[in-house]
Amino acid sequence: MIDIHSHILPGVDDGAKTEEDCLDMARAAVAQGVTTIIATPHHKNGQYENDRQSILKHVSILNEKLRKENIPLDVLPGQESRINGDMLEDIEQENLLPLNNSKYLFVEFPSGQVPRYSAQMLFDIQVAGFTPIIVHPERNRELFENPSKLYDFVKKGALTQITAASVIGNFGQKIQKFTNQLIEANLTHFIASDAHNTTTRGFCMDEAFRHVADKYGNDCYYMFTENSQLLIDNMNVNRLEPVAIKKKKFLGLF
């Protein structure tokens, strides 16, 4: 199993605090069946900045440590960048780090809103040769209340990644319901852990994928698992035609 979103690097953001925390997360990931994980520390979210070169250095150090500890986990480089007006310049200057140096780039919105320039920025990122992946849209208030915005982003080429914990209800029933409706509407393309630790923000990958297989069948299950492999191989991922979700279904739920 491949996990494309984690905060496993120690001491760089609100994920693993120490090297031992990091190793505990690695062991927990392996216990979930994860063999490959992308380290995606926060970048330019108002609190943390982790540029390309620093992430590459930390990932190299971590992989060496995992080998010494005989933990069978491969860590790949990535970055979770908060959307901002300097993203194109940062792409040109190679400060942003696509997932495993592929054409796929994480884009995070503030939890409560979608900035007005988001549609243009997502378009410009694609013009620059990258495919934006909107992370955890199910936990964004504005997208929750106005899912047509997410439909428009996906229809115009963006991808999305939902959180394993959201799939199984760890963020509450309302977010779980929305998450499942995103799956049903073909408005999401990846499931990842967004793990920060082994307690309050763990991996939940095995349980989430079993939920998907049980509720939506093997075709859906294999689409999500295959997409993660296609991503790290820098190949085109599977996309199904998105379906618009009516706003009225979500009023008052968040």
Q: What is the pLDDT of residues 2-58, one digit of tens each?
A: 999 999 999 999 999 999 999 999 999 999 999 999 999 999 999 999 999 999 999
Average pLDDT in the chain? 95
Q: What is residue 53's predicted lDDT score, i.e. its pLDDT?
A: 95
Nearest CA among 72, 73, 91 for reference residue 81 = 91
Q: What is residue 246's predicted lDDT score, i.e. its pLDDT?
A: 76
Domain boundaries, given as residue ranges, for the chain:
2-249
> 171-205: per-residue pLDDT in tens?
999 999 999 999 999 999 999 999 999 999 999 99
Whole-structure pTM value: 0.95
Q: What is residue 247's predicted lDDT score, i.e. its pLDDT?
A: 63
Residue located via tokens 């939940």: 204
Architecture of domain 2-249: Alpha-Beta Barrel (3.20)
Residue 254 pLDDT level (bands cut at 50, 70, 90): very low
